[in-house]
Amino acid sequence: MADEFPSAEDVPEEPVSPEDISPFDGDGAAFDDINEFARAEWKESTTADERLRAVIKRTVTPKTANEIADIAAVSESKARTALKALAEEGVASARHTDSGTVYQRDPDRHLIEQIHQLATAGDVVEQIQDLKAEIAEYRDAYDTESPEELLVSDRELSEQELTDVSHWRTAMRDFEYLRAAYRIQQAKRRTPAADEFEGASDELRVQKW
């Protein structure tokens, strides 16, 4: 298909400045700020259930249904109904307090989903080896087995050393995630596919008879 270019009638007579060009579809001038405009675009392009699911998956500290409703641009009653369903599904975690029920993403499910994504992303052995080497470097540099031991020691840590502690912790967390993903990969390789299992069962039944 050939490129289409504007005709002479389509070209404005006055020069166009960057301020005349909007990267968004719609009338952004109707909104006071870009956040309000983005929120309206999000609301228009998604359903209430989709927004609530997206919000709860990013909610790591407990929030009330009213707070989540405000973020997801839905009514509080809609949020309460959907959050209850998400809690039953296992996506959200609900906790009852003296001031009411609060919700956040379910940490166990989130962890399992992260590990599953790693397990299906490809070979993780090289990443595991890289992290083992990184952790070994931190242990050699600070002559201690873990970042927690370094933090509780009598040593006064500099800003750079505190940054190293943060990176060390991240490396150890990622190492454990990757090891879990590797075990899943190995388990899948050792487990026959369903059709292979059915075929083997049929063969056994034939042999038995």
Q: What is the pLDDT of residues 84-132, one digit of tens each?
A: 999 999 999 999 999 899 999 999 888 888 888 888 877 889 899 999 9
> What's this model's pTM, rounded to 2 decimal places?
0.56
Residue 23 has pLDDT above 50, yes or no: no
Sheet holding 63-64, edge to edge: 63-64, 100-105, 92-97
CA distance 6 to 14: 15
Considering only CA atoms, which of 128, 91, 132, 125 is closest in space to residue 108? 91
Cβ neighbours of residue 157 closer than 8 Å, sequence gap 6 or more: 150, 151, 165
Q: Are residues 177 and 153 in the same domain?
A: yes
Note the pLDDT of residue 7. 55
Structural domains of the chain, count? 2
CA distance 66 to 118: 34
Q: Which of 105, 135, 168 is the last residue of a domain?
A: 105
Domain membership of residue 14 (yes or no) is no
Q: Are residues 38 and 97 in the same domain?
A: yes
Structure confidence by residue, pLDDT tens digits, 144-168: 999 999 999 888 899 999 999 999 9
Note the pLDDT of residue 5. 47
For residue 201 the two structure tokens come to 């069962």
CATH classification at residue 52 = 1.10.10.10
Q: How large is the average pLDDT for residues 3-17?
A: 51
Considering only CA atoms, which of 40, 14, 12, 15 is closest in space to residue 27? 40
Q: How large is the average pLDDT for residues 4-13?
A: 52
Q: Are residues 136 and 195 in the same domain?
A: yes
Domain membership of residue 2 (yes or no) is no
Note the pLDDT of residue 81. 96
Residue 63 has pLDDT above 90, yes or no: yes
Note the pLDDT of residue 49. 95
The confidence band for 24, taking pLDDT boundaries of 50, 70 and 90, is very low
Distance of CA 196 to the CA centre of its chain: 34
Q: Which amino acid is at 35?
A: N
Q: Are residues 120 and 90 in the same domain?
A: no
Which residue range forms the structural domain that includes residue 158? Answer: 110-205
Q: Are residues 96 and 167 in the same domain?
A: no
Q: Are residues 118 and 101 in the same domain?
A: no
Domain membership of residue 23 (yes or no) is no
Note the pLDDT of residue 86. 95
If you search the block for the tokens 């487990």, which residue do you land on?
A: 191
Domain membership of residue 82 (yes or no) is yes
138 CB-contact burial (10 Å; exposed 0-12 / middle 13-18 / buried 19+):
buried
Q: Are residues 101 and 116 in the same domain?
A: no
Q: Are residues 37 and 59 in the same domain?
A: yes
Q: Which of 105, 122, 138 is the last residue of a domain?
A: 105
Q: How large is the average pLDDT for residues 184-200?
A: 67
| Residue 123 and residue 186 in contact, taking contact as beta carbons nearer than 8 Å | no
Q: Are residues 200 and 119 in the same domain?
A: yes
